[in-house]
């Protein structure tokens, strides 16, 4: 929020008599270069010499805000407001905005509004201040006050869209759909290329159940700039809008066959509606057009949700081939190993995740669960206690620790943790595990009543039914536990590994009914997995290479043109030299339709410009064939083609045998 306020702050330094001292100027230069540590060092030196330099106090406040040091930021902002010249609107506004931002982080909304109101009183023609206060009022659901500020913005800047968008968004929040559409219509007329106007108007049409208009607006927003609001709305669509939107996206995909975003969006829509096989189909299409880690992660997640854990492991490993430090992929791999009942392998992944991000308390909680399942109660207690230290308001941590205390006979400590859960989840919207707390405290009726309420609110939530099964199992009510467990699996729950180790299932686990139920649903999942694996056995291909100036060179054909490429495990993308790209265009190996994406740079003479994104229809090497490979054109590159991780991830496991000078690539047979 503050960065945009910094633009041009020093442009009128002479006019406004802003500081010209050495430490201040060096600090300002470091700040502009995003070197906040150096900036803070210079500004603190400046303030030692000139403690009333309000400009330095202002920028120090901003740096402290960026560093999450909110107490220091608040003090510095107050000093800035006190010592800045009253007429220097830019810095005065920045100081007030920084102060209000800190107050919002500290959840002191009344003071944040007061700070912005003071700034507005001093600078009543600054529309940005009204926008920020309107946003606070919106978050407080004080829509009338928010509307008043947006109307003031329109009065001050009638040619800008922000005020109209704010009024429309407020109307949407109150389900005044007609009024919202009126505002978004005007915003779209002011700026026809403004994708947010169409995305928010689509939300209005969805509220009115005008599906055709809604999906048209979503398509417009997505075509303009892949608007995130529009993308999010597509994932929330249900029938009949789901099929309608999917059809329009399929038409767009046919019109732009090289662009991966359209099948990817279709995939996310189907995944959000639990249609995982359809989602995989479209994700595979997107991945063939533009392989990347995010798509591979989504494919792995869909296989995971259907219980095809071996397939999920294949794709998550491909994603990790692209980035071995991606914590989302590593946590997914840990979950997959859990379902494959390999607890040690799961723990190994959690160790990697926590090494990469030791400050995320949820990781300790999840590793603690696995340690508990693996019989390491001491290690589990350490991890779960660490979670509570890092996330003292996360109720699941207290449930997990309370259960461990119960196992160890520490009933009073367990009772304290269960009561803490009830304290944290006193509001219905906060309920996550309060029913476990009540059941553990012997208040079974309260636990059941709360669970029934959760299920009534969403009868399609498989986790709610699984929680009910656990609660009834803990209560030794076999029939009810089996009933809810079946319903959970009918809704898609395939977490068989978790069920095997979950102590909440201890009462059921040895019963014939439980075993038969698990076997029934396991067979359906394993049948799908077996069929998928049978269609694509893994084989190893050896591809010869030569060394040239220390790099691996591999012979290939690009759209039938014999070339060589550099095999580079350190590069992220595929790149092609400008000379080679232009040669391919002029000799028919590339056509205009192969110049893809938003960067279409080819002049009237057929010369391809640096930055162009090209689709290589076919890349053949060593008996392997890849289709629709994206390449970026670069100016300076000795080799005509560099093959990076965006394609390497599609190949599978790769080993470099320098002695034999071959690449050993383990890949699906039908690659």
The pLDDT, as a whole number, for residue 7 is 41
Residue 9's alpha-carbon distances to 59, 79, 84, 115, 546, in angstroms, are 11, 18, 13, 21, 56
**Is the Cα dihedral 229, 231, 234, 236 positive or negative?**
negative
Question: Beta 551-558 vs 613-621: how paired, if at all?
Answer: antiparallel
User: At residue 597, does pLDDT exceed 70?
Assistant: no
User: At residue 628, does pLDDT exceed 90?
Assistant: no
pLDDT-derived band at 537 (thresholds 50, 70, 90) equals low
Contacts of 338 (CB under 8 A, 6+ apart): 346, 370, 373, 497, 498, 501
The pLDDT, as a whole number, for residue 475 is 92
Q: What angle do CA 241, 244, 245 make, to 5 degrees?
A: 85
Answer whether 451's CB lies under 8 Å from 468's CB.
yes
SS3 629: strand
Answer whether 302's CB lies under 8 Å from 286's CB.
no
Least confident range from 223-232, 465-474, 537-546, 600-609: namely 600-609
User: At residue 660, does pLDDT exceed 50?
Assistant: yes
Identify the top-confidence range among 320-329, 456-465, 581-590. 320-329
Answer whether 614's CB lies under 8 Å from 633's CB.
yes
pLDDT-derived band at 251 (thresholds 50, 70, 90) equals very high
The pLDDT, as a whole number, for residue 648 is 64
Contacts of 49 (CB under 8 A, 6+ apart): 21, 23
Q: What angle do CA 435, 436, 441 make, to 5 degrees?
A: 100
CA 139, distance to chain mean position in Å, is 22
Alpha-carbon torsion, ordered 332, 337, 340, 344, to 10 deg: -160
The pLDDT, as a whole number, for residue 541 is 87
Q: State the helix-helix crossing angle for 54-66 and 70-83, rounded to 10 degrees.
A: 160
pLDDT-derived band at 534 (thresholds 50, 70, 90) equals very low
User: At residue 3, does pLDDT exceed 90?
Assistant: no
pLDDT in tens, 397-426: 999 999 999 999 999 999 999 999 999 998
Q: Give the span between the Cα atoms of 39 and 27, in whole angstroms.
A: 4
Q: Give the span between the Cα atoms of 371 and 267, in whole angstroms.
A: 35
Average pLDDT over residues 98-110: 93
According to DSSP, the residues that pair with 551 across neighbouring strands are 548
How many Cβ atoms sit within 10 Å of the Cβ of residue 318? 25
Contacts of 431 (CB under 8 A, 6+ apart): 425, 450, 454
Q: Which domains does the chain carry? A: 1-158 (1.25.40.10), 458-535 (no CATH), 538-668 (2.40.70.10)
Q: Is 324 exposed, middle or buried (0-12, 13-18, 19+ CB in 10 A)?
A: exposed
pLDDT-derived band at 570 (thresholds 50, 70, 90) equals low
Phi then psi for residue 536, to 5 deg, are -145, 70
pLDDT-derived band at 455 (thresholds 50, 70, 90) equals confident
The pLDDT, as a whole number, for residue 522 is 82
Residue 286's alpha-carbon distances to 245, 257, 643, in angstroms, are 17, 10, 19
Q: Give the span between the Cα atoms of 299 and 281, in whole angstroms.
A: 9
Tokens coding 114: 């007061």
The pLDDT, as a whole number, for residue 15 is 47
| DSSP codes of every residue in 194-255 | -HHHHHHHHHHHHHTT-HHHHHHHHHHHHHHH--HHHHHHHTT--TTHHHHHHHHHHHHHHH
Helices (H) and strands (E) in the chain, counts: 34, 11
Tokens coding 73: 């930021």
The pLDDT, as a whole number, for residue 25 is 94
Q: Give the span between the Cα atoms of 628 and 601, in whole angstroms.
A: 19
User: At residue 242, does pLDDT exceed 90?
Assistant: yes
Q: Which residue has the higher pLDDT, 315 or 614?
A: 315
Answer whether 437's CB lies under 8 Å from 401's CB.
no
pLDDT in tens, 520-532: 888 776 555 444 4
The pLDDT, as a whole number, for residue 288 is 87
Whether the bond between 5 and the residue before it is cis, its omega within 30 degrees of 0, is: no
Q: Which residue has the higher pLDDT, 8 or 614?
A: 614
The pLDDT, as a whole number, for residue 78 is 96
How many Cβ atoms sit within 10 Å of the Cβ of residue 315? 28
Q: Give the span between the Cα atoms of 147 and 93, in whole angstroms.
A: 22
User: At residue 166, does pLDDT exceed 70?
Assistant: yes
pLDDT in tens, 332-382: 999 999 999 999 999 999 999 999 999 999 999 999 999 999 999 999 999
Tokens coding 653: 């496991």
User: At residue 4, does pLDDT exceed 50?
Assistant: no
Answer whether 305's CB lies under 8 Å from 286's CB.
no
The pLDDT, as a whole number, for residue 321 is 85
Least confident range from 53-57, 128-132, 597-601: namely 597-601
Residue with tokens 């595990």: 433
pLDDT-derived band at 637 (thresholds 50, 70, 90) equals low
Contacts of 34 (CB under 8 A, 6+ apart): none
Answer whether 213's CB lies under 8 Å from 186's CB.
no
Average pLDDT over residues 632-645: 67
Q: Give the span between the Cα atoms of 293 and 321, in whole angstroms.
A: 9
Specify whether the backbone of 543 is left (phi greater than 0), alpha (psi in -120 to 50) or beta: beta
Q: Give the span between the Cα atoms of 64 and 457, in whole angstroms.
A: 43
DSSP letter (8 states) at residue 639: S
C-alpha closest to that of 91 among 16, 14, 27: 16
Average pLDDT over residues 586-602: 67
Average pLDDT over residues 307-335: 93
Tokens coding 255: 């019109």
Tokens coding 135: 């946003």
Q: What angle do CA 157, 162, 164 make, to 5 degrees?
A: 90
Average pLDDT over residues 150-178: 96
Mean pLDDT of the chain: 88
CA 419, distance to chain mean position in Å, is 33
Average pLDDT over residues 238-264: 94
The pLDDT, as a whole number, for residue 12 is 45
pLDDT in tens, 473-487: 999 999 999 999 999
The pLDDT, as a whole number, for residue 638 is 52
Average pLDDT over residues 118-140: 94
Phi then psi for residue 358, to 5 deg, are -75, 0
pLDDT-derived band at 661 (thresholds 50, 70, 90) equals confident
Average pLDDT over residues 529-548: 68
pLDDT in tens, 69-92: 999 999 999 999 999 999 899 999
pLDDT-derived band at 6 (thresholds 50, 70, 90) equals very low
Least confident range from 31-35, 177-181, 346-350, 427-431: namely 427-431
The pLDDT, as a whole number, for residue 170 is 96
Answer whether 372's CB lies under 8 Å from 406's CB.
no
Please give the helix or strand (H or E) that residue 437 lies within, else none: helix 434-440
According to DSSP, the residues that pair with 624 across neighbouring strands are 621
SS3 49: helix
Q: Give the span between the Cα atoms of 458 and 573, in whole angstroms.
A: 43
């Amino acid at each position: 929020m503050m960065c945009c306020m910094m633009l041009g702050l020093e442009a009128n330094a002479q006019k406004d008599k802003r500081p010209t001292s050495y430490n201040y100027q060096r600090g300002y230069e470091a700040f502009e270069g995003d070197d906040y540590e150096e900036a803070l060092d210079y500004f603190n030196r400046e303030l030692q010499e000139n403690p009333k330099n309000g400009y330095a106090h202002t920028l120090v406040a901003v740096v402290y805000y960026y560093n999450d040091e909110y107490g220091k930021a608040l003090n510095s902002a107050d000093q800035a407001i006190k010592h800045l010249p009253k007429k220097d609107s830019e810095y005065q506004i920045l100081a007030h905005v920084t102060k209000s931002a800190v107050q919002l982080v500290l959840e002191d909304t009344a003071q944040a509004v007061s700070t912005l109101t003071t700034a507005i009183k001093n600078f009543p023609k600054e529309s940005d201040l009204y926008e920020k206060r309107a946003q606070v009022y919106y978050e407080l659901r004080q829509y009338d006050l928010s509307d008043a500020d947006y109307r003031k913005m329109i009065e001050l800047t009638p040619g800008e869209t922000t005020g109209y968008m704010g009024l429309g968004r407020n109307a949407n929040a109150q389900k005044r759909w007609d009024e919202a559409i009126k505002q978004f219509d005007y915003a779209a007329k002011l700026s026809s290329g403004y994708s947010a106007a169409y995305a928010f108007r689509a939300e209005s049409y969805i509220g009115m159940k005008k599906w055709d208009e809604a999906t048209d607006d979503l398509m417009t927003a997505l075509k303009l700039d892949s608007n995130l609001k529009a993308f999010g709305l597509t994932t929330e669509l249900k029938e009949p809008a789901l099929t309608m939107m999917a059809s329009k996206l399929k038409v767009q995909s046919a019109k732009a066959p090289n662009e991966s975003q359209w099948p990817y969006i279709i995939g996310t829509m189907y995944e959000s509606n639990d249609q995982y096989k359809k989602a995989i189909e479209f994700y595979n299409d997107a991945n063939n057009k533009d392989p990347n880690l995010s798509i591979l992660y989504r494919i792995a997640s869909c296989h995971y949700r259907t219980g095809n854990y071996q397939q999920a492991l294949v794709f998550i490993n491909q994603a990790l081939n692209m980035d071995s430090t991606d914590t989302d992929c590593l946590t997914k791999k840990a979950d997959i190993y859990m379902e494959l009942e390999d607890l040690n392998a799961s723990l190994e992944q959690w160790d990697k995740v926590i090494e990469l991000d030791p400050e995320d308390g949820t990781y300790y909680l999840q590793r603690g669960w696995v340690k508990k399942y693996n019989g390491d109660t001491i290690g589990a207690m350490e991890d779960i206690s660490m979670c509570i230290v890092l996330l003292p308001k996360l109720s699941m941590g207290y449930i997990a620790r309370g259960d461990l205390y119960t196992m160890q006979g520490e009933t009073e400590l367990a009772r304290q943790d269960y009561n803490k859960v009830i304290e944290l989840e006193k509001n219905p919207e906060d309920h996550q595990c309060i029913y476990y707390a009540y059941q553990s405290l012997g208040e079974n009726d309260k636990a059941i009543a709360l669970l029934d309420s959760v299920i009534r609110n969403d009868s399609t939530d498989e986790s709610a039914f699984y929680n009910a099964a656990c609660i009834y199992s803990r209560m030794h009510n076999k029939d009810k536990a089996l009933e809810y467990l079946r319903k959970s699996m009918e809704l898609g729950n395939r977490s068989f590994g978790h069920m095997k180790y979950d102590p909440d299932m201890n009462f059921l686990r040895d019963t014939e009914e439980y075993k038969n139920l698990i076997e029934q649903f396991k067979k359906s999942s394993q049948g799908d997995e077996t069929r998928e694996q049978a269609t694509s056995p893994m084989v190893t291909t050896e591809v010869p290479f030569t060394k040239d100036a220390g790099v691996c060179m591999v012979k290939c054909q690009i759209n039938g043109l014999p070339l060589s490429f550099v095999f580079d495990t350190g590069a992220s993308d595929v790149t092609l030299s400008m000379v080679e790209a232009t040669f391919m265009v002029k000799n028919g190996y590339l056509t205009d339709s192969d110049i893809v994406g938003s960067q279409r740079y080819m002049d009237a003479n057929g010369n391809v410009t640096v930055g162009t994104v090209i689709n290589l229809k076919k890349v053949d090497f060593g008996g392997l064939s890849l289709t629709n490979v994206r390449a970026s054109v670069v100016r300076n590159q000795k080799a005509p083609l560099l093959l990076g991780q965006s394609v390497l991830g599609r190949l599978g496991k790769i080993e470099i045998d320098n002695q034999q000078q071959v690449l050993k690539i383990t890949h699906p047979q039908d690659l």
